[in-house]
A and B are shown apart, each in its own frame.
Chain A
Amino acid sequence: MFDSLSSRLTKTFTGLRNRGRINPVDIEDTCEEIRVALLEADVAGSVVTLLVEKVRTRSLEQISLDKKGINPGQQIISIVHEELVAILGGSARRLRYAKTAPTVIMLAGLQGSGKTTLAGKLAAYLKSEGNTPVLVACDLQRPNAVDQLQVVGSSVGVPVFAPEPGNGVGDPVKVAKAGIEFAKQKVHNFVIVDTAGRLGVDKELMDQAKNIRDAISPNEVLFVVDAMIGQDAVNTAQAFLDGVGFDGIVLTKMDGDARGGAALSIASVTNRPVMFLSTGEKSNEFEPFHPDRMANRILGMGDVATLAEQAKKALDGDSAQKLEEKFISGEKFTFDDFLEQLQAMKKMGSMSKILGMLPGAQSAAMKKQIAAIDENELTRAEAIIHSMTPIERQEPKIINGSRRARIARGSGTEVFHVNNVLDRFSAAQKAMKQMRNQPGLGGAGNVQMPGGMPSMGGMGGMGGMPAAKVSPPAKRSKSGNPAKRALEGG
Chain B
Amino acid sequence: MALFSFSGITSLISKLRREPGANADVDWNEIEQQLINSDLGPKLSVELVDLLKKNLNASLEEGLLELLGKDRDRNLAKNQNPNVILIVGVNGVGKTTTVGKLAHYLVAAGNKVVIGAADTFRAAATGQVSTWAVNAGATLVSGKDGADPAAIAFDAVAKGFEIGADFVLIDTAGRLHTKAGLMDELSKIRRVIEKRTLVGEVLLVIDGTTGQNGLTQAQIFAQAVGVTGVVVTKLDGSAKGGIAFAIERELGAPIKFVGTGEAISDLAPFQAAAFVTALISS
A-side residues, CB < 8 A to B, are 1-2, 36, 39-42, 44-46, 110-114, 141-145, 147-148, 150-152, 155, 167, 199-202, 226, 228-236, 239, 253, 255-259, 261-262, 269, 281, 371, 375
Contact = CB atoms under 8 A, between A and B. Distances in A.
Nearest to B33: A45
B42 A36 contact: yes
A232 B209 contact: yes
A230 B39 contact: yes
B213 A258 contact: yes
Nearest to A49: B33
Most A Cβ at <10 Å: residue of B38, B176, B217, B240: B176
B14 interface: no
A349 to B, nearest CB: 12
Contact of A143 (B128, B145, B207, B238): B128
Nearest to A255: B176
B3 interface: yes
Given A200-B238, A228-B214, A231-B36, A375 B181 contact: yes
Given A1-B219, A40-B43, A112-B91, A231 B38 contact: yes
B237 A199 contact: yes
Interface in B31-82: 33, 36-39, 41-43
B180 A199 contact: no
Contacts of A144: 124-125, 127-128, 131
Contacts of A231: 36-39, 211, 239
Nearest to B240: A232
A229 B209 contact: yes
A254 to B, nearest CB: 10
B118 interface: no
B53 to A, nearest CB: 19
Interface string B85-122: 00000111110000010000000000000000000011
Contacts of A141: 262
Contact of A262 (B211, B234, B238): B211
Given A232-B39, A256-B90, A42 B212 contact: yes
Contacts of A233: 209, 211
Contact of A256 (B178, B207, B209, B242): B178
Contact of B236 (A155, A199, A255): A199
B216 interface: yes
Given A111-B94, A143-B128, A253 B123 contact: no
Interface string B177-210: 1111100000000000000000000000001011
A113 B211 CA distance: 14
Nearest to B91: A253
Given A42-B211, A45-B36, A1 B240 contact: no
Contacts of A235: 238-239
A253 B211 CA distance: 13
Contact of A148 (B124, B212, B219): B124
B210 A230 contact: yes
Contacts, number: 159
B243 interface: yes
B209 A1 contact: no
A137 to B, nearest CB: 11
B209 A143 contact: no
Contact of A230 (B122, B177, B180, B211): B211
Nearest to A41: B212
B132 interface: yes
Nearest to B32: A45
Interface string B245-263: 0000000000000000010
A112 B174 CA distance: 11
Interface in B115-166: 121-125, 127-128, 131-132, 145
Contacts of B215: 1-2
State the main secondary structure of chain A at its contact with B.
loop
Contacts of A256: 90, 176-178, 213
7 contacts: A144-B127, A199-B237, A201-B236, A226-B207, A230-B211, A231-B38, A259-B213
Contacts of B179: 255
B118 to A, nearest CB: 16
Contact of A112 (B37, B92, B238): B92
A258 B124 contact: no
A229 B234 contact: no
Nearest to B38: A231
B124 A226 contact: no
A155 B4 CA distance: 46
A110 B239 CA distance: 11
Contacts of A148: 122-125, 127-128
A236 B216 contact: no
A40 B42 contact: yes
Given A143-B127, A147-B124, A42 B213 contact: yes
A192 B54 CA distance: 56
A110 B132 CA distance: 20
A155 B123 CA distance: 10
Contacts of A143: 100, 127-128, 131-132
A475 B255 CA distance: 65
B104 to A, nearest CB: 13
A364 B54 CA distance: 36
Contacts of B36: 39, 45, 231
